[in-house]
Chain A
Amino acid sequence: MDRDRTDGGLLIERRGELGDVRRFSHEAMATVFEVHLAHPDERYAAQAAQAAFELVDRLERELSRFLPNSDIARVNHLAAGGTTQVSPSAMECLVIARHVFDLTGGAFDVSIGTGLPSLELDPDDSMVRATTDGVRIDLGGIGKGYAVDLMAEQLGEWGLEKALVHGGFSSVLALEAPEGVDGWPLTLSDPGSPSRVLARLSVRQMALGASGLRKGDHIVDPYTGEPARGCRAAWVAVPRPDTARHEARSEGRPRIAAAAVADALTTAFMLMSPEEIETLCERNPGLEAWVFPEPDDGRPGDASLLHFGDSASGYTSTSL
Chain B
Amino acid sequence: MAGENEKDKGTPKAGAAGPRKLDRREVLTGLSTVPALGLFGYAWNKQRQYQQAKAEAAAAPAEAPKDLQVINVALLGAGAQGQVLTDAMLRIPGLRFRAVCDIWAEYNQKRVVNSLAKFKHEVRGYEDYREMLDKEKEIDAVVIASPDFWHAQHAVDCLKAGKHVYCEKEMSNTLEGARSMVAAARETGKLLQIGHQRRSNPRYLHCYEKLLREAKLLGRVVTVSGQWNRAVAPDLGAPARYAIPDARLTQYGFKDMHQFRNWRWYKGKGGGPIVDLGSHQIDIYSWFLGANPTGVMASGGLLYHDPATHEWYDTVMAVYDFETPMGKVKASYQTQTTNGSQGYFENFMGDQGTLLLSESEVYGAKLYRDPNAPAWDTWVQNGYVSAPKIQEIKEKTEGVTDVRESVSPDEHKVSVVLRDPYHQPHLQNFFNAVRGKAKLNCPPEVAYESAVAVLKVNEAIEAGSRLSFKPEDFRI
Q: Name A residues whose Cβ lies closer than 8 Å to a Cβ of B.
A: 1, 5, 7, 28-31, 43-44, 46-48, 50-51, 54, 60, 63-69, 73-74, 77, 85, 87-88, 92, 95-96, 98-100, 102-110, 112-115, 120-126, 134, 136, 138-141, 143-144, 157-159, 168, 170, 211, 217-226, 238-239, 241, 250, 253-257, 261, 267, 270, 272, 276, 279-280, 283-287
Expressed in whole angstroms, the Cα–Cα distance for A287 and B234 within the complex equals: 38
User: When each residue 405-422 of chain B gets 1 if its CB lies under 8 Å from chain A and 0 otherwise, what string results?
Assistant: 000000000000111111
Residue B394 interfacial (CB < 8 Å): no
A64 with B1: CB separation less than 8 A:
yes
> Which residues in window 1-56 of B have CB below 8 A to A?
1-16, 18, 21-29, 31-44, 46-48, 50-51, 54
4 new A-B contacts at CB < 8 Å, known A29-B3, A46-B237, A283-B34: A69-B418, A74-B419, A219-B7, A279-B25
Residue B240 interfacial (CB < 8 Å): yes
Expressed in whole angstroms, the Cα–Cα distance for A90 and B54 within the complex equals: 21
Expressed in whole angstroms, the Cα–Cα distance for A106 and B37 within the complex equals: 20
Residue B60 interfacial (CB < 8 Å): no
A74 / chain B contacts, CB cutoff of 8 Å: 419-420
Q: How far is the CB of B422 from chain A (nearest CB, A)?
A: 7
B40 with A261: CB separation less than 8 A:
yes
Expressed in whole angstroms, the Cα–Cα distance for A85 and B420 within the complex equals: 10
A30 with B48: CB separation less than 8 A:
no
Expressed in whole angstroms, the Cα–Cα distance for A185 and B80 within the complex equals: 36
Q: How far is the CB of A120 from chain B (nearest CB, A)?
A: 7
Contacts A217-B8, A222-B12; is A123 near B240 (CB within 8 Å)?
Answer: no
Residue B239 interfacial (CB < 8 Å): yes
A103 / chain B contacts, CB cutoff of 8 Å: 28, 31, 34, 39
B44 / chain A contacts, CB cutoff of 8 Å: 95, 123, 254
A7 / chain B contacts, CB cutoff of 8 Å: 7
B35 with A284: CB separation less than 8 A:
yes
B51 with A267: CB separation less than 8 A:
no
A122 with B51: CB separation less than 8 A:
yes
A47 with B12: CB separation less than 8 A:
no
The contact of B4 among A50, A107, A138, by CB within 8 Å, is A138
B34 / chain A contacts, CB cutoff of 8 Å: 103, 283-284
Residue B233 interfacial (CB < 8 Å): yes
Q: How far is the CB of A136 from chain B (nearest CB, A)?
A: 7
Q: How far is the CB of A294 from chain B (nearest CB, A)?
A: 16
A140 with B235: CB separation less than 8 A:
no
Residue B319 interfacial (CB < 8 Å): no
A220 with B6: CB separation less than 8 A:
yes
Q: How far is the CB of A60 from chain B (nearest CB, A)?
A: 6
A211 with B242: CB separation less than 8 A:
no
Contacts A122-B50, A124-B51, A159-B241; is A276 near B361 (CB within 8 Å)?
Answer: no
A95 with B22: CB separation less than 8 A:
no
The contact of B1 among A66, A69, A211, by CB within 8 Å, is A66
B6 / chain A contacts, CB cutoff of 8 Å: 108-109, 112, 138, 140-141, 219-220, 222, 267
Residue B362 interfacial (CB < 8 Å): yes
Return 19 A-B CB contacts under 8 Å, by A number: A1-B4, A29-B3, A47-B238, A74-B419, A92-B40, A95-B40, A95-B44, A96-B40, A105-B21, A105-B28, A106-B24, A123-B51, A140-B3, A219-B8, A223-B21, A223-B24, A238-B36, A283-B33, A284-B35
A159 with B16: CB separation less than 8 A:
no
B14 with A68: CB separation less than 8 A:
no
B419 with A220: CB separation less than 8 A:
no
Expressed in whole angstroms, the Cα–Cα distance for A87 and B119 within the complex equals: 10
B422 with A113: CB separation less than 8 A:
no
B7 with A211: CB separation less than 8 A:
yes
The contact of B2 among A140, A225, A226, by CB within 8 Å, is A140
Q: How far is the CB of B463 from chain A (nearest CB, A)?
A: 35
Q: How far is the CB of A113 from chain B (nearest CB, A)?
A: 4
A106 with B21: CB separation less than 8 A:
yes
Q: What 10 A-B pairs have minimum CB-CB distances, sorted nearest first?
A: A225-B15, A47-B237, A1-B3, A140-B5, A105-B24, A99-B43, A284-B36, A105-B27, A113-B14, A225-B12
Contacts A69-B418, A219-B8, A286-B36; is A158 near B240 (CB within 8 Å)?
Answer: yes
A105 with B40: CB separation less than 8 A:
no
**Closest A residue to B236 using CB positions:** A47
B135 / chain A contacts, CB cutoff of 8 Å: none
Expressed in whole angstroms, the Cα–Cα distance for A98 and B9 within the complex equals: 21
Residue B115 interfacial (CB < 8 Å): yes
A143 / chain B contacts, CB cutoff of 8 Å: 1
A5 / chain B contacts, CB cutoff of 8 Å: 3
Contacts A254-B44, A284-B35; is A77 near B419 (CB within 8 Å)?
Answer: yes
**Closest A residue to B119 using CB positions:** A126
Contacts A63-B1, A99-B46, A123-B51; is A267 near B41 (CB within 8 Å)?
Answer: no
B50 with A121: CB separation less than 8 A:
yes
Expressed in whole angstroms, the Cα–Cα distance for A139 and B2 within the complex equals: 8
A239 / chain B contacts, CB cutoff of 8 Å: 37
Residue B118 interfacial (CB < 8 Å): yes
A1 with B8: CB separation less than 8 A:
yes
B39 with A140: CB separation less than 8 A:
no
**Closest B residue to A68 using CB positions:** B361
Q: How far is the CB of A126 from chain B (nearest CB, A)?
A: 7
Q: How far is the CB of A61 from chain B (nearest CB, A)?
A: 8
A254 with B241: CB separation less than 8 A:
no
**Closest A residue to B424 using CB positions:** A69
The contact of A140 among B7, B13, B14, by CB within 8 Å, is B7
Q: How far is the CB of A142 from chain B (nearest CB, A)?
A: 9
A285 / chain B contacts, CB cutoff of 8 Å: 35-37
**Closest A residue to B25 using CB positions:** A276
B11 / chain A contacts, CB cutoff of 8 Å: 220, 225
The contact of B40 among A219, A257, A279, by CB within 8 Å, is A257
Contacts A87-B87, A140-B2; is A256 near B40 (CB within 8 Å)?
Answer: yes
Q: Which of B26, B43, B241 has the most CB of A within 10 A?
A: B43
A255 / chain B contacts, CB cutoff of 8 Å: 40
A279 with B234: CB separation less than 8 A:
no
Expressed in whole angstroms, the Cα–Cα distance for A112 and B41 within the complex equals: 25
The contact of B237 among A28, A48, A122, A250, by CB within 8 Å, is A48
Residue B90 interfacial (CB < 8 Å): yes
User: When each residue 236-252 of chain B gets 1 if its CB lies under 8 Å from chain A and 0 otherwise, what string results?
Assistant: 11111110000000000
A115 with B18: CB separation less than 8 A:
yes
**Closest A residue to B3 using CB positions:** A1
Residue B91 interfacial (CB < 8 Å): yes
**Closest B residue to A97 using CB positions:** B43
B27 with A65: CB separation less than 8 A:
no
B14 / chain A contacts, CB cutoff of 8 Å: 113-115, 222, 225
Contacts A47-B237, A122-B51, A225-B12; is A283 near B41 (CB within 8 Å)?
Answer: no
The contact of B41 among A65, A157, A217, A253, by CB within 8 Å, is A253
Expressed in whole angstroms, the Cα–Cα distance for A44 and B15 within the complex equals: 50
